[in-house]
Amino acid sequence: MTEVVLDCFYRPAENLAVARLEFSLTNTGKKTLQSFTLAYSAMTRAAANASLENAEGLTRIANFHELSPPSGFQLEPGKSWNFVVQGLVNPARHRLDGPKSAYITVFGQIIEVLCNDLDTPPDSDTGERRNVPIGMVDLPIHIVPWPQSIGVSAWTDKITAFHLSEGTSEEKAAAAKINGLSKRLFPDAPFPFRFSASANTHALVLRHDVALSDEAYGIEFSDDQAVLSYGGQPGRDYGLTVLAQIAYGAYVDPGTYRFPATGTIADSPRFGWRGTHLDVSRHFRQKNEVLRLLDILAWGRMNVLQWHLTDDEGWRLEIKAYPELTSSGAKRGPGCQQVGQLGFSSEIYEGSYSQDDVRDIVSHAIDLNIDIVPEIDAPGHSTAVLKTYPKFADQAEPDNSYHSIQGYPNNALNPAMDETYDFLEKVFAEVASLFPSEFIHIGGDEVDVHSWLESPKAQRLMSEENLTGTLELQAYFMGRVRKILAKHGKKLAGWDEVSHGGGIDPDGVLLMAWQKREVTKELIDQGYDVISTPGQHYYLDMVQASGWREPGASWAGVSTPEASYAYEPSDGLDESKLNQLKGVQACIWSEHLTDNALFNHMVFPRIYAVAESGWTSPDRKNWQRFAAASAIFPTL
């Protein structure tokens, strides 16, 4: 039974030093509460010099805040304690920017507090909500992403599935695999493929065609059969998936979608990298949810999962050489090495993947033609590591000598310490053996510009190596990490900041351009291979409309589904360098994704907007068709 609730009201001000959060903690229980402290976690953070009204003793670590009522205060049943925090680090713009989780501590006992949505004056709310129109189909066929070429001259309602009675065992196995995919995503729909002929099915004939590239396929529909030609295993599976989508559309919305009777599809992807990134540190996703996300990617013919396995808020991958990374570093909350952050702060919040889990997930991905690129975020975003192993920090570096943009103190692995590289050697050895991918993503993002400047070891390294500050130290670190990866036969992928402070030799390096769209061109001009993932368009945690009630983050502004769909990653690039743009990626950052309902609201339909930009030529995209198709997308 919830006995305490927390309402919060945001009073905006141009000057953040006078912007206010006005709190009201109400006792809905039967007992008077006294001598308690309140802890809450909120993305709208109190400034270091915030002032309090009717409260005292504020401490803060990143999003975690703790304070108490004035001494002697008693909170009687039905009554509220009203207090104010004035002076904020960042403005609130949406209802989930306030406290996400809270608890009170009374004589050592922790009582969960139910957090209400953040509220604000009506004039700060545009009232706008996410808008995906009903849309309009131009052809009555459900395929996402849209093929490069399709011509259908007749439609039929007589077919309900395809049959492969003549196929080889390999072809039948492939069709059975796509049957499985379809059934997992839509358990209530019929299977698209049968293995014996029947009156309601069309024969499906598969043909390997050496003239087609690995990922290419073509389908020819004629009166009594469909012929699927394919270049390689991915092309074969993509063709089968398209047939499964056609069957699913015709089943679930027969008023809109049908089977082709005669016609052709010829198709191959625009980019080789059609990625989704998933942050499992801020909020964990169970193994079965990761498996299902892979199914969702395969349904949209996406072929990369960048798995963000570590961050300040938790380390999620079992490492045999450092078991404490998960036994301790994967937990936050009362009594843990780290305080609670984001959602669920009253309880111990934890989650990690064993190496056996990872092997299962990787093998599922391989089956679905998806490459999992693991991300170990370094040197920044390393609070979970440094709290687990404080000995990795320069002991002479003062506490709180710098803070990350998320407010974590001293959260970057020190580039001047042997311990750092010994640690990464062992971690990457295990990571390399678990993931067959060509790349390991080493993060490289958001190292605060004051990092390490007060570390005597870093100062010594700077003078020995003639490095001028944080960014050059960071580039030095990247160069060493790259050598470690090379030993394990892996190439380096990272966020765009890997190019800062002089960067590293671009040969074989792949960078994610995220901070703004212009970065894609800047990195390409510096010689790097690039994946376009601008926060403004491809960050699926960004709000989809300006209205206050819309959930999500807003540092990169509003990212409407239509604008995500319309974004063209190659705009402004030199024709001669287009080959350095390797693809596109949707990023699922999870600070706000406390449950699957929010996950689905944020991720769909934008994830397939990115899938379609990755697959389909820009001139073949059509927002109205995509919007119509989105009515029957799968969800987590």
- Residue 429 burial (CB < 10 Å; 0-12/13-18/19+)? middle
Q: Taking the CB of residue 616, how many other CB atoms lie within 10 A of it? A: 21
Nearest approach, Cβ of 94 to ligand TNX (angstroms)?
Answer: 13
Q: Residue 63 is which amino acid?
A: N
The helix/strand count (H/E) of the chain reads as: 15, 30
Which 281-310 residues touch ligand TNX, going by CB under 6 A? none
Q: How far apart are CA 236 and CA 285, in angstroms?
A: 30
For ligand TNX, the closer CB: 267 or 445:
445
Q: Closest Cα to residue 241, out of 219, 224, 223?
A: 219
- Which contacts of 284-287 are long-range, i.e. CB under 8 A and separated by 24 or more positions? 284/314, 284/316, 284/349, 284/350, 284/351, 284/352, 285/351, 285/590, 286/351, 287/353, 287/357, 287/360, 287/361
523 binds ligand TNX (CB under 6 A): no
Q: How far apart are CA 193 and CA 201, in angstroms?
A: 9
Q: How far apart are CA 276 and CA 610, in angstroms?
A: 9
Q: Which of 397, 541, 550, 612 binds ligand TNX (CB under 6 A)?
A: 541
Q: Which of 9, 353, 495, 567 binds ligand TNX (CB under 6 A)?
A: 495
315 binds ligand TNX (CB under 6 A): no
Which 242-261 residues touch ligand TNX, going by CB under 6 A? none
Q: How far apart are CA 423 and CA 328, in angstroms?
A: 16
373 binds ligand TNX (CB under 6 A): no
For ligand TNX, the closer CB: 182 or 559:
559
Which 542-571 residues touch ligand TNX, going by CB under 6 A? 553
Tokens representing residue 159 in the block: 């077919």
Q: How far apart are CA 564 and CA 299, in angstroms?
A: 19
Nearest approach, Cβ of 627 to ligand TNX (angstroms)?
Answer: 25
589 binds ligand TNX (CB under 6 A): yes
Nearest approach, Cβ of 514 to ligand TNX (angstroms)?
Answer: 5
Q: At what angle do helices 606-615 and 596-603 cross, to 10 degrees?
A: 40
Nearest approach, Cβ of 371 to ligand TNX (angstroms)?
Answer: 20
Question: Buried b vs exposed e over 204-232: b needs ≥16 C-beta within 10 Å?
Answer: bbbeeeeebeebbbbbbbeeeebebbbbb
**Residues near 600 by Cβ (< 8 Å), separated by ≥ 6?**
635, 636
How many of the chain's residues bind ligand TNX (CB under 6 A)?
9
445 binds ligand TNX (CB under 6 A): yes
Nearest approach, Cβ of 520 to ligand TNX (angstroms)?
Answer: 14
Nearest approach, Cβ of 495 to ligand TNX (angstroms)?
Answer: 4
Q: What stretches of 488-557 show up as alpha helix (H) in DSSP?
A: 518-525, 535-538
For ligand TNX, the closer CB: 238 or 495:
495
615 binds ligand TNX (CB under 6 A): no
For ligand TNX, the closer CB: 353 or 514:
514
For ligand TNX, the closer CB: 221 or 495:
495
**Residues near 491 by Cβ (< 8 Å), separated by ≥ 6?**
438, 439, 440, 485, 508, 509, 510
For ligand TNX, the closer CB: 428 or 589:
589
Nearest approach, Cβ of 567 to ligand TNX (angstroms)?
Answer: 16
539 binds ligand TNX (CB under 6 A): yes
Nearest approach, Cβ of 287 to ligand TNX (angstroms)?
Answer: 22
Nearest approach, Cβ of 154 to ligand TNX (angstroms)?
Answer: 48
For ligand TNX, the closer CB: 201 or 520:
520
List residues bridging with 37 in a β-sheet: 105
For ligand TNX, the closer CB: 237 or 541:
541
Nearest approach, Cβ of 381 to ligand TNX (angstroms)?
Answer: 6
Q: What is the DSSP letter of 191?
A: P
For ligand TNX, the closer CB: 147 or 551:
551
Residue sitting closest to ligand TNX (CB): 445
For ligand TNX, the closer CB: 382 or 459:
382
For ligand TNX, the closer CB: 361 or 540:
540
Which 502-521 residues touch ligand TNX, going by CB under 6 A? 514
Tokens representing residue 524 in the block: 């390409």
For ligand TNX, the closer CB: 202 or 282:
282
Q: Residue 245 is which amino acid?
A: Q
Nearest approach, Cβ of 539 to ligand TNX (angstroms)?
Answer: 5
Give the alpha-carbon dihedral of 174, 176, 182, 186, to 10 degrees.
Answer: -170
For ligand TNX, the closer CB: 371 or 541:
541
446 binds ligand TNX (CB under 6 A): yes
Which 86-125 residues touch ligand TNX, going by CB under 6 A? none
Reply yes or no: is the peptide bond before residue 145 cis, omega within 30 of 0: yes
Tokens representing residue 307 in the block: 């798995």
Nearest approach, Cβ of 403 to ligand TNX (angstroms)?
Answer: 14
Q: What stretches of 300-415 show up as alpha helix (H) in DSSP?
A: 324-327, 355-367, 383-388
User: Terminus-to-terminus CA distance in the chain, angstroms?
Assistant: 29
447 binds ligand TNX (CB under 6 A): no
Q: Closest Cα to residue 98, out of 11, 4, 2, 16?
A: 11
Nearest approach, Cβ of 58 to ligand TNX (angstroms)?
Answer: 25
List residues bridging with 308 in a β-sheet: 279, 375
Q: Phi and psi (nearest 5°) for 71?
A: -65, 145
For ligand TNX, the closer CB: 174 or 540:
540
Which 161-220 residues touch ligand TNX, going by CB under 6 A? none
For ligand TNX, the closer CB: 447 or 462:
447
Which 16-75 residues touch ligand TNX, going by CB under 6 A? none
Nearest approach, Cβ of 452 to ligand TNX (angstroms)?
Answer: 19
Nearest approach, Cβ of 341 to ligand TNX (angstroms)?
Answer: 12
For ligand TNX, the binding residues (CB under 6 A) are 445-446, 495, 514, 539, 541, 553, 589, 591
